Amino acid sequence: MASSNSKSTNETARKIFKILLSNPRIKVSWVKAHAGNIGNERADQLAKEATQQGQPYSHTKLPKPHIKGLIRKRMLEEWQTSWKNGDTGRKIYNIMPSVSLRPTN
């Protein structure tokens, strides 16, 4: 993979390499195509739409704190939905129906 080579002549590959180097928690792995992976299927769909519509992708940089806030909000929403609709822990759910990242007393 070109992005794993810091000496690559491909500018995009070098940018990816730098991002991966500065963010060791990011993991890149191969995913079998058309295997039902929702994220991969969505990426395929967006790529197909981009080629058919002929509209260039515009990259807008957002501040890291903003991105982290969006991710945190989405994660809490999904966790809350999972907790609300879950089958286990119902006695605890009756006491604590809302999820939180902060410990409760």
4-26 pLDDT tens trace? 556 778 888 888 888 888 888 88
If asked whether residues 24 and 48 sit together in one domain, one would say yes
If asked whether residues 15 and 46 sit together in one domain, one would say yes
**Number of structural domains the chain divides into:** 2
If asked whether residues 23 and 47 sit together in one domain, one would say yes
Say how many CA atoms lie within 13 Å of 80 toward its Cβ.
11
Which residue range(s) make up the domain with 29?
11-53
- Cα–Cα dist 13/19, whole Å: 10
Tens-digit pLDDT profile for residues 22-75: 888 887 777 777 677 777 888 888 888 878 876 666 667 888 888 899 999 999
- Cα angle, residue 102 at apex, residues 98 and 105 outer, rounded to 5°: 85
CB distance 17 to 1 below 8 Å: no
